[in-house]
Amino acid sequence: MGEGRAARNARDEQQGIVIINAQQDLQKLVQRMYECLHNKVYDEGDKSMLKTLRPIIDLRSLALKVKQKGAAHVLASDGEQFTKVSKQLATNIVDVPDSEIRIQFREFIRRLERHVAQLNKEDLCSIKLIKVFLETERKLYVEMVMHVICVAAASMSVESVIESMVSIYENRNNKFRPISEERAVLEMNIAINGPELPHADSIIQERHQNVLDDKSGYDHILLSEDSWTYFGIQWVGWYLVYNTLPFGWKISPFVYHTTGLLATNFFHSIAISCSLYIDDHHNGQLQVDLHSSAYFQLPTLDERNLAAANSAIFIVAYYLVQLGYFLGLAKSTLIPVKVVPFLGFLSDSALQVFHLIPAKKEKFLLLLRKIVGQSAVSVKTIQRLVGKCVSFSLAVPGAVLFTRAMNTAISKGLRTHRRVKIDQKLRDELNHWFFLETWDDPLPWRDELHIRISLATDASGSGWGVSVFLQETVTTSDYWSDDERAHDIATREALALDKTLLSFSDSLQNVWVDVQVDNMSVATRYSKQKYSLQKGLEKFLDALPVWGIEQYIAIAEQLKINLKSGYLFRPTNQQGAIVNAAFMSSAAEARLRTYLKEMGSDDGETLHGFRSGYAITLALSGVELSEVMDHVGWTQRHRALYYLQLAKVLNPAGASSRLAQVDLSAVTQKWGDTNELRQFVSAFPSLPSQKCPHESEICI
DNA sequence: GAAAAGAGCAATAGTCACTC
DNA sequence: GAGTGACTATTGCTCTTTTC
Cβ A446 to strand C below 7 Å: no
Cβ A635 to strand C below 7 Å: yes
CA of A290 to C1' of B5 (A): 74
Instruction: Name the residue closest to B14, CA to C1'.
Output: A414
Distance between CA atoms of residues A632 and A609, nearest Å: 12
Least confident of A287-291, A343-347, A393-397, A583-587: A583-587
- Cα within 13 Å of Cα(A525), Cβ side: 19
- Residue A246's pLDDT band, with cuts at 50, 70 and 90, is confident
CA of A380 to C1' of B10 (A): 28
Cβ A407 to strand C below 7 Å: yes
What digits encode the pLDDT tens for the residues A29-49? 555 545 554 554 455 665 666
What digits encode the pLDDT tens for the residues A531-559? 333 333 334 333 434 445 555 666 667 66
State the DSSP H helix or E strand holding residue A272, giving kind and residue range, or none if neither: strand A272-277
Strand partners, A454: A467, A516
Dihedral sign from CA coordinates of A411, A415, A417, A418: negative
Q: What confidence score (pLDDT) does residue A32 get?
A: 57
Q: What confidence score (pLDDT) does residue A196 get?
A: 36
Length of chain A as a residue count = 700
Q: What confidence score (pLDDT) does residue A330 get?
A: 72
Q: What confidence score (pLDDT) does residue A679 get?
A: 41
Q: Which residue has the higher pLDDT, A162 or A419?
A: A419
Positions on chain C within 7 A of a protein C-beta:
1-3, 5-11, 17-20
- Strands A450-457, A512-516: parallel, antiparallel or unpaired by DSSP? parallel
What contacts A148, CB < 8 A, 6 or more positions away? A57, A82, A86, A89, A90, A93
pTM of the complete model = 0.45
Q: What are phi and psi for residue A455, nearest 5 degrees?
A: -110, 140
Strand partners, A353: A348, A444
Q: What confidence score (pLDDT) does residue A649 get?
A: 47
Cβ A527 to strand C below 7 Å: yes
State the DSSP H helix or E strand holding residue A335, giving kind and residue range, or none if neither: strand A333-337
Q: What are phi and psi for residue A693, nearest 5 degrees?
A: -75, -15
Highest mean pLDDT among A188-202, A309-323, A412-426: A309-323
Q: What is the mean pLDDT of residues A372-376?
A: 80
Cβ A172 to strand C below 7 Å: no
Q: What is the mean pLDDT of residues A368-376?
A: 80
What digits encode the pLDDT tens for the residues A62-80? 888 888 888 888 888 888 8
Cβ A45 to strand C below 7 Å: no
Least confident of A244-258, A263-277, A562-576, A643-657: A643-657
What digits encode the pLDDT tens for the residues A254-283? 777 777 877 887 787 777 777 777 777 888
- Residue A432's pLDDT band, with cuts at 50, 70 and 90, is confident
Residue A108, pLDDT > 80, answer yes
CA of A617 to C1' of B10 (A): 36
DSSP E strands in A470-609: the ranges are: 473-479, 512-516
CA of A177 to C1' of C15 (A): 28
Measuring from the CA of residue A586 to each C1', which nucleotide is nearest?
C18
Helix (H, G, I), strand (E, B) or coil at A298: coil
Q: What confidence score (pLDDT) does residue A469 get?
A: 72
Q: What is the mean pLDDT of residues A221-235?
A: 70
- Cβ atoms of A260 and A324 within 8 Å: the answer is no
CA of A638 to C1' of C10 (A): 10
Q: What confidence score (pLDDT) does residue A236 get?
A: 52
Give the whole-number percent of chain A exceeding pLDDT 90: 0
- Cβ atoms of A142 and A133 within 8 Å: the answer is yes
* Mean of the per-residue pLDDT values of chain A: 63
Highest mean pLDDT among A30-39, A562-571, A576-585, A659-668: A562-571
What contacts A420, CB < 8 A, 6 or more positions away? A376, A377, A378, A379, A382, A409, A410, A412, A413, A426
- Residue A697's pLDDT band, with cuts at 50, 70 and 90, is very low
Cβ A81 to strand C below 7 Å: no
Distance between CA atoms of residues A32 and A314, nearest Å: 41
Residue A200, pLDDT > 50, answer no
CA of A393 to C1' of B14 (A): 23
Residue A622 gets the label, from left (phi > 0), alpha (psi -120 to 50) or beta, of: left
Q: What confidence score (pLDDT) does residue A151 get?
A: 59
Q: What confidence score (pLDDT) does residue A2 get?
A: 41
Reported for A406-414, long-range contacts at CB under 8 A and 24+ positions apart, including other chains, are A406/A382, A406/A430, A409/A377, A409/A379, A409/A382, A410/A379, A410/A382, A410/A383, A410/A386, A413/A378, A413/A379, A413/A382, A414/A379
- Residue A653's pLDDT band, with cuts at 50, 70 and 90, is very low
- Cβ atoms of A593 and A586 within 8 Å: the answer is no
Distance between CA atoms of residues A2 and A7, nearest Å: 9
Footprint of strand B on the protein (CB under 7 A): A 1, 213, 253, 277-280, 342-344, 357, 360, 363-364, 380, 383-384, 386-388, 390-391, 520-521, 524, 608, 611, 639, 643
Q: What confidence score (pLDDT) does residue A172 get?
A: 36
- Residue A312's pLDDT band, with cuts at 50, 70 and 90, is confident
Strand partners, A239: A234
Q: What confidence score (pLDDT) does residue A375 get?
A: 79
Among chain A residues 564 through 603, which have CB within 7 angstroms of nucleic chain C?
584-586, 589
Q: What is the mean pLDDT of residues A1-6?
A: 47
Q: What confidence score (pLDDT) does residue A651 get?
A: 45
Q: What confidence score (pLDDT) does residue A373 get?
A: 80
